[in-house]
Every structure is written in C-alpha cells, then in structure tokens.
Chains A and B, each alone.
Chain A
Amino acid sequence: MTCDEARLAIGGDPASLTSELEEHLRGCAGCAGFRAEMLRLDAALRRAFEEPPDIRVAGARRAPLVRWRQWALAASVVVATLGAVGVWLLRPTDTLASEVVAHVRGEPQSWLATHNVSAAAIDHALKSSGIGLDVDSDKIMYAKSCWFRGHYVPHLVLQTAHGPATVLLLRHEHVKARDPFHESGMTGVIVPAGDGSIAVLERGGQGVDELAGELRQEVHWLPEPAPQR
C-alpha cells in the first residue's frame, strides 16, 4: 500500500482499519499522524453533527420554496374568500330572521307610536325603495326607510286587531318558503312575495300569518329608484 492509497482510505473512513493499512501505518509515521488527526477530526464531527445546524440560509436557494408557499397561501386565501362568499350567499334564513329581530329591537320606539303617520311619510318610506303598498294609511302608525343589509327598506308598524305589528318589506331578500321564528319575545314570519319577501313581527304573534298573507297581495315591487347620493 502506498501513502496515497493509505491517506485516501484514512481520509475516507478514519475509523476503518484493514490489515493492509495497519501494516502500512506501522512503517509510516506520516500516515499514522495523519490518521490520528483524522480520528480527532471525526470525534469533533460527531459532536458537531449531534446538533442540527444553527444557520440561516438566505437568498435564491430558499426563494423557490417561499414562492411555492406564497402560492399555497394565496390559494388558501382564495378558498377562504370563496367559502366566506358562499356562506354569505347561502346563509340560512334564520340569520335573516335574527337580523330582522335585531333591527326591530334597535328601534323600540316604533312599537310605541300612537298616531297615524302622514301620507307623505309613508310615501317617502315606500318610494325610497321602489315599493307600492295597497294598504289603508290609517293603519300605519310608523313608517321609516331603514338601512338593512345594504339596502333601504320600508320599516312599518301597522295597527291590527292583535296589537301593533312590525312589517319590513324586503325586496332584496329571497326566501324559498314561509319561515316562522320566535326570538327576543317577538313572534314573526318571513314569507316570499314576488321577487322579494316580507317580514312581519308581533309581540303576541297571533296574527302574523294573516297579515303576511294580506300584505303579499298588497305589495308591488316597482322599478327600483336610482341610488341617492
């Protein structure tokens, strides 16, 4: 074995000691010293390898993976957005009912109205939303155009045989079928009416279906007025 061969074997695998190499080392102090040094280096290497590298690698090598992660992040944002839009579009009517109740609770004075509303006020509340209503104005005790779910909607309180009933004419909300609800001491129903829907609420709730049925015949969805600035 030559010194070159011995050093290749030692440098390649210092711990390995063949009989041929052993014989060479007995007669070659240089290679023996080299092996001792390599063994020391290997001991240090084993200690160094025990811990994972504590180093930050920046720049191009990492960039492709980061780009890949950015695409994954972007995709997840798109999926989340589509999901949120889907949930919004497919939101259950229970949510609509809850929002109707919340809106009515926000205007408690509407239940307390004792005087008829002027024809002009009724007209304003209805025409702001492009809605016609064939109902005796004497029954209407409260009329306001309210901002609800992104649109102005007529918020009316009608005097009935069972007491005051709140009515929201929702031309932009669509329900497939009658949706009764009972929440916060109010009993109500949302019914489909043409292209929109009508929400009727009462404290007692005995007459909501009757009133809703009447209103379905009396409401007219007119061409929607241009948005006011």
Chain B
Amino acid sequence: MRNSPPPSPVSYIGERLRGADARASITALFESLRPDLLRFAQWLARDRTIAEDIVQEALLRAWRSRDALKEAGAARAWLLTIVRREHARLYERKRLELVSLDEAAEIPDNAPAAGADGELAMLRYAIMKLPLEYREPLVLQVVGGFSTEEIAHELELTATAVLTRLFRARHKLRALCGTTALPDGGAPREEPA
C-alpha cells in the first residue's frame, strides 16, 4: 500500500487479533472499516443501495475467510479488494447494463453552481461520468491507497496499462471539469495489458 491505513482503531485491534476475543475483535475491525468500504463501493457502483448490498456481501465473504487475515494492518486493503471483486461479480452475475451517465445521471438539485463547493460538485460529477475502466483504477488509487503495481495485480493489467488508464482518467476529469487541455494536447497510447 502506498498510503498507510488509518492507525486507529485498526492497529489497536491488531494487537488483540490473536487473543481469546478474536471474533469480537474482527467484528469490531470490520465495523470500523465499514464506512470506508461503503464509500469505496459507492464510487464504484454509483448507487448507494447497490453499494450497501456489495459491502454486505463482501463482509460476509470476509467473515467466512477471516482466518486468511493474519494482521489487522492488512485488513483495509484486504476488504477493499473483496469489495472490488464483489462489485465485479455483481455486474457479472446480474449482467447490469452500463449506460452513459450523460443519459442516465442527474446532477443533484442542491448542487452549488459556483465557488469551491460548486467545483467540487462538478468534479464528483465528472468522476461519476468516467467509464468504469478509468474510474476503477482511480478509485483504487485515491480512495483505496493502492500502488500502481497492486492495482495492476488486482485488475490483471500491466503497470504501464494502469498508468495509462490513470493518466487518461485525469485527462478526462480535466476536460469534463472544463479546465485547460493537456500541454501536449492528448493522452498517451494505451499499452497492451
């Protein structure tokens, strides 16, 4: 992980993971990470209800294979990975049809029109409009704190392909937010995965 996970309460629980109350500790650990997981899932699924389903299913899976978790410090990355896979599985299972957010999304009525908050709202909207192939590595990197190599491993891509997707994601965000184009006018050609 490039970004270190929150030091508390994870590290505190980690000291107790092998204790007699391991079950309670893991439950507390999972619960402490749930808001993070839900936020992560929402950015992937773009729907709170679906995200809640994903997190619920992911936590069930995590609980069943909790013996695989050797240290609490690794729990966040481990759970985020399970959430991502659950999200991918959901789309595979339900065959959810992807549609363009240009057609499907509505900007919230209360979105500020201008100012710093307005720009932030526009940025959120722009992130939502990103195709999943660009949004997913970006969410993994910025929200999940995964390194390029970890993202590449998770998405079964080369590191260069991940960098290319991330580059393009940022390029699109700049374009969608109405900022200036890249100095050289374009994104690099995508490397084969």
Q: A49-B139, A65-B50 are in contact. Are A13 and B163 (CB under 8 A)?
A: yes
Instruction: Report yes or no: A56 in contact with B142, Cβ–Cβ below 8 A.
Output: no
A209 close to B (CB within 8 Å)? no
| Interfacial chain A residues near B121, Cβ < 8 Å | 54
Closest Cβ–Cβ distance, residue B149 to chain A (whole Å): 11
Closest Cβ–Cβ distance, residue A9 to chain B (whole Å): 7
8 Å CB interface, A69-123 against B: none
The DSSP consensus for interface residues of chain A is: helix
Contact partner of B103 (CB less than 8 A), chosen from A14, A15, A46, A59, is: A59
B92 close to A (CB within 8 Å)? no
A57 close to B (CB within 8 Å)? yes
Interface residues on B, range: 35 or more
In the bound complex, what is the Cα–Cα distance between A50 and B38 (angstroms)? 11
A150 close to B (CB within 8 Å)? no
In the bound complex, what is the Cα–Cα distance between A56 and B128 (angstroms)? 10
Instruction: Report yes or no: A48 in contact with B170, Cβ–Cβ below 8 A.
Output: no
A34 close to B (CB within 8 Å)? yes
Closest Cβ–Cβ distance, residue B159 to chain A (whole Å): 9
Contact partner of A56 (CB less than 8 A), chosen from B105, B148, B174, is: B105
Instruction: Report yes or no: A57 in contact with B166, Cβ–Cβ below 8 A.
Output: no
B11 close to A (CB within 8 Å)? no
The DSSP consensus for interface residues of chain B is: helix
Closest Cβ–Cβ distance, residue A11 to chain B (whole Å): 3
Residue of B whose beta carbon sits closest to that of A9: B163
Residue of A whose beta carbon sits closest to that of B103: A59
Instruction: Report yes or no: B163 in contact with A48, Cβ–Cβ below 8 A.
Output: no
Closest Cβ–Cβ distance, residue B44 to chain A (whole Å): 10
Instruction: Report yes or no: B43 in contact with A30, Cβ–Cβ below 8 A.
Output: no
In the bound complex, what is the Cα–Cα distance between A192 and B70 (angstroms)? 68
Q: A45-B173, A60-B99 are in contact. Are A68 and B94 (CB under 8 A)?
A: yes
B184 close to A (CB within 8 Å)? yes
| Interfacial chain B residues near A49, Cβ < 8 Å | 39, 43, 127, 139, 142-143
In the bound complex, what is the Cα–Cα distance between A162 and B168 (angstroms)? 97
In the complex, 30 of the A-B residue pairs with CB atoms within 8 angstroms, ordered by the A residue number, are A3-B184, A7-B184, A8-B163, A11-B167, A11-B170, A11-B171, A12-B166, A13-B141, A14-B170, A16-B148, A45-B123, A46-B142, A47-B120, A48-B120, A49-B142, A51-B124, A52-B39, A52-B42, A53-B124, A54-B111, A56-B105, A57-B105, A58-B104, A58-B105, A58-B106, A59-B103, A60-B104, A61-B96, A62-B47, A68-B94
